[in-house]
Structure formats: structure tokens, C-alpha cells
Amino acid sequence: MLRAGLLCGVAFLWAGVAHAGEAAGEAPATNDAAPAGDADAAGERHDRNAPGDYHAQAASDIVVTAPFKRDVGTLLSGASVVSGETLTRELRPTIGETLARQPGVSSTSFGPNASRPILRGFQGDRVRVLTDGIGTFDVSSTSADHAVVINPLTADRIEVLRGPSALLFGSSAVGGVVNVIDSRIPRRVPDEPIHVDAIGTYGTAANERSVGGAVESPIGDKFVVHFDGSYSKTGDLDTGGHILTPALRAQAAANPDPEIAELADLKGKLPNSAARTWEVAGGAAVITDTGNFGVSVSRYDSLYGVPIRYSLDPDIEAEAVRLDVKQTRVDFRGEVETGGGFLQSIKLRGGYADYQHSEIEDTGEVGTTFYSQGWEGRLELVQQERGGWRGAIGGQMMIRDFNVIGEEKFLPKNETQQYGLFTLQEFDLGAVKVEAGGRFEHSVISADADADLGNPAYHRTFDALSASLGAGVDIVQGWRVGLNLSRTERAPSADELFANGPHAGTQAFEIGDPTFGKEKSWGLEATLRGKGEGYSINASVFHSWFDNYIYETATGEIEDDLPVYRFAQGDARYYGFEVEGSATLAHIGQTTIVADALADYVRAKIKHDGPVPRIPPLRVLGGIEAQAERITGRVEVEWTDDQKRVTEFETPTEGYTMVNASLAFKPFGSANSTSIVLSANNIFDVVARRHASFLKDYAPLAGRDFRITTRINF
């Protein structure tokens, strides 16, 4: 039913765009179609840059990851927007590392090439990573060594939503949503014959060389074509010191086997961490004053190494595996304004991808291959704003066929189908703002019988109902407090249900449970936002109570030379906070001195079973900037605490302090995104390890890294 509705939506949108084009006559659909600041007329479709100038930077205080735009200051849950100069400075080869300095965000850090965002301590299937509102169609949530098929070089902006707002994009997004927004399907007609965005980066820590570029050109006054491509190559990552932790080095040095004893002195370059990635894409769109419809096709290809998890047992061989990843993807997006009545607009977004990756052993042989074909679509009916009431209702569907073939197969062939209905309603009552949302999701998860894994055929269905209710109150001018209450239900993933085999990425023999029920939780979040002349502050405190929380627990058994981990369900508690703020310290001539800081903390426990594994520790990051019209200089210090709250088979992690500095130059002024950024990261070359990483004891973060990034816009 929902699939048919989405297909009908495509036809309706196409007809609406065509009709709108005829009605509009020959009027050019550029930024001049509506005055700057007219959000209803220009803002919804023109979210890549600020209205009025095609070369202007995107506004960093507006969130577009929703059916309608929302100001960060009015949101009732945590959110971050990374764009412009900040995105250029923080750009790294992976989406996880690019976002790792945002509040409430950490990274899986499975070496420099596979790094997925962690939000409020949640990772894997509990965090949705999106491309312009729909999934990435990769298998990165299946294992930490699987890369996210998103190239940050192509991003215009990245938005991070935490809390109840994430329910718009799936009941599994209990941790939050990361949405990477690009311009592959054009959103507006350039006001010039050809528009070019290009970026190039060089980093010393991995001899990183990256280049990307995009070209957009109008054909007539309503049709736009887009082409982009990128290429990056890195060598083995240079770390700040020894590869192994002090505890492992002591064990290695005491080993009578000379090859293992040598590991105690291994330092500097991180073996088997080099990578090569390229991507090409093309898109086109019809854009009128009252609608648009476009498509894009992309090809992604990457070959990267997974850092070696060294064994201190001479009878167990440590593998130097490389992953060869390929994905072909087709996307479409459309919107039509209805011209009045109850609805303001109808939006459609969808995509299909064919993904595979092969895990290549150091002998050159293919050990295991993962195949995934997926389709996702969402239809949004955006309501006309009436007397401070606005909202949207919609439907979403996702289908994924997944198969693993090879010697390290740990899952049977399986299919996941999800069909959802959702709504978000906002009521602006002046000093009080109320927000309510709900989502119903029907999931069908099935697996074929598999003699190799010893499992019969399975067919499970789940109906999940999630809802949220929040309110914000203006307490004084510029200050608002908010409170959100949410109830979520999540169907277990295919991995949690059907796993039964060796999983090389996590170095575990994983055993799922096909009888699992839904994971349920209550969530409470309080927010405080304030701003005034020369200062701003955003703070969130959250607490979640889980029933039937799904987690992995070590059994103490060994299977295929790997420790056995069994998925289990139990009660769990998550709580923590995020706070960030900035203040103007002084004005010296045309230069403004600004200080900023953030801190975040998560504590998580499974009842009767101890701490949740791989939870990031307390972190504090502070910086000071000198901001002028064309030049910005910044120095920052990041302090991360020790993490000693660990499970029985988890090791503690030492904290670290990093010092970074950067200098950004804008040759054409602050209104244009053309820039040159010089940065020095981890200046004192400290050894740093993220506790959330499966590989933290074998793969430290980058050591001293000097970078230059140039972004050109003309």
C-alpha cells in the first residue's frame, strides 16, 4: 500500500512540476523569484546557500533536516550544523572523524578509513546516517570495520539531530540522526552559465591527498545539470607513538617468541591503514517557481586497509585485511507547492543502491563478500502554517536484501522490510512552543535456512509505535527552557536476531537470538538555550530507560579461535549531558576575539550486568578565535578523561589532551565560501585512543598532522 503510494507520488510530483512550469511561463526560477528572507517562497527549496547570493555560505543556525526549516535556537532537542569554514576545517576522509568534535558526538574509529558517528553513546543500528534524508544503503551498521559510503568531500553541510526529532527518520534512530546534504540533485537554477565548487586537501599524518569538484550549469531557465567527482589517497597513518597499549606491550615483551616480542617496539606508522577512494556522480533537475523534480546517479569505489589486531599467541595468525567497496546508487527528489488549502507542499525522496564489498586477505584471496541491495523512499505532506500551527505527515518505506558469502560468514541471507507512518506537529503560542510527534513502523525480517550456520528459515514481524511530546518556554528575553518526553520502540536488527558465526571485524564469534522482542524505552530531555549581545549557550540533559535493551555479552567460551559473544536483552539506563557556548571577549579594530567551549558526558549501565561497553568518557573542548573579515585564527584544546567503567572483557582507556590550531583566509570576504585553511592538529604528537573503538588497543588516533585545505567557489 505504502509502496504504491510512493510510486503515485512520483507521478503526481512530476505532473505538478510540469504544470507549474507551464503556469509560470518563462519566468526564471532563480533566487530573484522571492525576496531575501521570504522563507515560504524561497527558503524551502533553496537551502544550500543563503537566499540572495548563489555563492553565499549556508546558514549554520538553520536546520533543514525536517519537513520544514527550523531555527537551532527554537529546537526542543539537541542539534548541530556543520557547514562553511567549520566544515572545511574539520574535513576528514570519514564522516565519523569529520564530526568527532561536535557536542555529543564520538566515533567508532576502526582505523582512519572506517569511522562511523556515535551519538550520546549510541552506535550501530541505533544511529541513522543519511544522505539528504534517506539511508546510505551500506552495511556500516553491521560492523565497525565497514566504512560509511559517504564522501565528506561532496558535503555542502552536515546536520546532527539528537533526541525525539530523530524519530521522523526511523524508530531505530533512538540515538539520533546524521544527515549529509549535498547538491547532486540541484535545488535551484544558477544565475550564471556555469557554477564550480572545488576542494583540495593535503594532510601530513597519512600523506593524504584529496581533491573533489562539482559543476552545475543551467540549460534554459528551468533545467539544471550537475556533475561531480572526487579522488583521495592516503598512506599508512602516522601515530603519536607506540601502536600497542602499555599493557599489551608488556605482554609482548615477555613473550618467548621473538616475532611477538618485537611488537613491543612497534611505533610510528599504523600498518595496513592506507586507502584509495574515488567517486563520480551526475544529476539533473527541473526547477520552477512552484516545484522541482530531479534525479542523480553515483558510483563509489574504495579500497582500504583495516589495522591489524595483533595476536600475542604465536599459534594465531594476525590478519592484514583490505576491503574493496563498490556501490552504484540512484536517487530522486521532488517537491510541488499545492497553491493553498490545508497543504503547503508535497515532498518525495527516494533512492536505490547496489552495494558489495570483498574482504581481501594478505595473500590476495577474497575471504568473504558482503552483498546488499536496498531501496528507501519517503513521502511528506507539509501543512500550511495557520495561526502558529504547522506540521507534516508522511510515509516511509525501506527494503534491504543482504547476503554474506565466504569463510567468515556469520549471517544467513536475509531481507528487512520497514513501512512507517509519521507526523510532526508544532504549535507556536508566543512565549510557549509545543511540539508533538509520532511514528508507527511495521517491520518484516526474514532469513533463509542455512545449513552452514545451522539455522532454519525465520520470519519475524514487529509493529513499533513511538511518540514524543515537548514544550519550550521563554523565561526571559533570549532565554528558553524546554522539556521533551519520548516513548520509543525498536525492532531488533537482522544481526541481533540471526548472527551465528565468526565476525572478523569485531574479533568475536557472535550468536544472535531469533526470539527477541522489541526494544522499548522512555526518554526525558531538558534543554536550555540562551543568547544575547555577544554570547550564546546551548545545554541538554538527557535520561533514557530501556526495557529489553539488546546488547552483546561475553560468555567466556572460545569458538574458531575467537571469544564467543551472545546477544542478550535486559534493562538499561543511559544518562548524560551536552553543553556548548561562545562569548565575545573583545573587539580590537576590525578583529573580534571569541571564546567557545563544549563538554559532553554519557553514563550507561545494563541492570544486573554492569556498564555498557565502549561508552565515550567525559570530554571538554575549548577554543579561542580571532575573527576578521578575511582571516580567522583559532587555537583549541581538547581534553578527554580516562574511561575506567568497563565490562568484564573490556580494557580501560587512558585519557589524553590534544592541542590544535588553524588559520583560515577568505580572499573574497566572509559572504563567499572560497577559502584556504591551514591547520596543525595534535601539535604535541600525543598518543590518543578512543574508548568507543574496537581497535583502541591496537590502533591509536593520528599523531601530529599539518593540513591545508582549499575550497574554491566561482
Predicted confidence at residue 70, as pLDDT, reads 80
417-461 per-position pLDDT tens digit: 999 999 999 999 988 999 999 999 999 999 999 988 888 999 999
Mean pLDDT of all residues in 411-419: 96
The rounded distance, in Å, linking the Cα atoms of 202 and 179 is 25
Task: Write down all domains in the chain, each with its CATH number in brackets.
Answer: 62-713 (2.40.170.20)
Q: Which of 231-240, 315-324, 579-588, 656-665 has the lowest mean pLDDT?
A: 315-324
Mark out the alpha helices in 278-369 (DSSP H runs).
none
The rounded distance, in Å, linking the Cα atoms of 493 and 514 is 10
Mean of all residue pLDDT scores within the chain = 88
C-alpha cell at 10: 512520483
Predicted confidence (pLDDT) at residue 339 exceeds the cutoff of 60: yes
In this structure, which long-range contacts are made by residues 547-552, counting pairs with CB atoms below 8 Å and at least 24 apart in sequence?
Answer: 547/519, 547/520, 547/521, 547/571, 548/516, 548/517, 548/518, 548/519, 548/520, 549/519, 549/521, 549/606, 550/492, 550/496, 550/516, 550/519, 551/606, 551/609, 551/612, 551/613, 552/508, 552/510, 552/613
Predicted confidence at residue 428, as pLDDT, reads 92
Q: Which of 242-256, 305-319, 506-520 has the lowest mean pLDDT?
A: 305-319
14-23 per-position pLDDT tens digit: 444 444 444 4
Nearest Cα to 143, choosing from 114, 117, 180?
Answer: 114
138-152 per-position pLDDT tens digit: 999 888 889 999 999
212-222 per-position pLDDT tens digit: 999 999 998 89
* DSSP summary character for residue 65: S
The rounded distance, in Å, linking the Cα atoms of 609 and 565 is 14
The rounded distance, in Å, linking the Cα atoms of 5 and 42 is 28
636-659 per-position pLDDT tens digit: 999 999 999 998 778 999 999 999
Predicted confidence at residue 558, as pLDDT, reads 86
Mean pLDDT of all residues in 78-107: 91
Nearest Cα to 186, choosing from 322, 281, 57?
Answer: 281
Highest mean pLDDT among 340-344, 354-358, 502-506: 354-358
